[in-house]
Chain A
Amino acid sequence: MAIVFIPTPLRKFTGNTSKLDISGHTVREVIDTLSSNFPELKRHLLNADGRIPSFINVFVNDDDIRNLQQEQTPVEGKTIVSIVPAIAGGSK
């Protein structure tokens, strides 16, 4: 179980809810459960290969999962899993 933070741009897919209790023992399980509970959210969280795309960052508490155990990072009941869209762009 973890508390998942949904960023503003994706809240229309979760009924405008910003925090959800989602079951799972790892980040991957949490993302899978979240995608199952909110099917419209899935295409924003997983690419065609079923991986978390590069334009989505996932933080466990204050740490990027890329610096932890990636998708296999364990979570507990009070763990906050934040979905953070990558904000970038440019004129070229």
Chain B
Amino acid sequence: MESNLHIGKSVVVEMIASVENTSEERCGFLFGNATNSRIITSIMSTPNISTEDKRRHFAIDPLKYLHAEGYASHNNLELLGIFHSHPNERAVPSETDRKAAQPFLSYVILSVLQAKFSAIRSWRLNHDRLFEEEVIIQY
């Protein structure tokens, strides 16, 4: 499996800004292209609509998902992944994350400690539905 995920530095900054200063999980979509390398060029933040404790769970409105697919199509981009934050936890997927994960998509997780960004890592399901880490290359 391809093991690198290229993300623009300004995109990382935008992601960090969207997940800091809150004790709740934040989330959104990742767009770019994957013709050769997998490159993330933009994001779209979206509300966390989880009905569980938002400090430990996130969910995205299905209509927002359809909107994101339409946005990608109209802008000649691909919907390549999802980002979400783990407040006061490591940037490592939980079993909850794994069970809900979709194939193909990159899952970028940002660890946020005391409401401040701490770490960013990316993961993708393999054929056995286990997460393998992608190396994030900021450009």
Interface, chain A (partner B; CB < 8 A): 5, 7-12, 18, 44, 55, 57, 59, 62, 64, 82, 84-92
Contact = CB atoms under 8 A, between A and B. Distances in A.
Interface residues of B, number: 35
B84 A89 contact: yes
B100 A87 contact: yes
A18 B25 CA distance: 31
Interface string B58-78: 111011011001001100001
Contact of A12 (B50, B62, B73, B104): B104
A10 B62 contact: no
Interface of B: 25, 27, 50, 52, 56-60, 62-63, 65-66, 69, 72-73, 78-80, 82, 84, 86-87, 89, 93-94, 96-97, 100-105, 107
Contacts, number: 89
B70 to A, nearest CB: 10
Contact of B65 (A18, A87, A89): A87
Contacts of A82: 66
A91 B69 contact: no
21 contacts: A7-B79, A8-B105, A9-B102, A12-B103, A12-B104, A18-B73, A85-B102, A87-B59, A87-B60, A87-B82, A87-B100, A88-B50, A88-B57, A88-B58, A90-B25, A90-B50, A90-B52, A90-B94, A90-B97, A91-B25, A92-B56
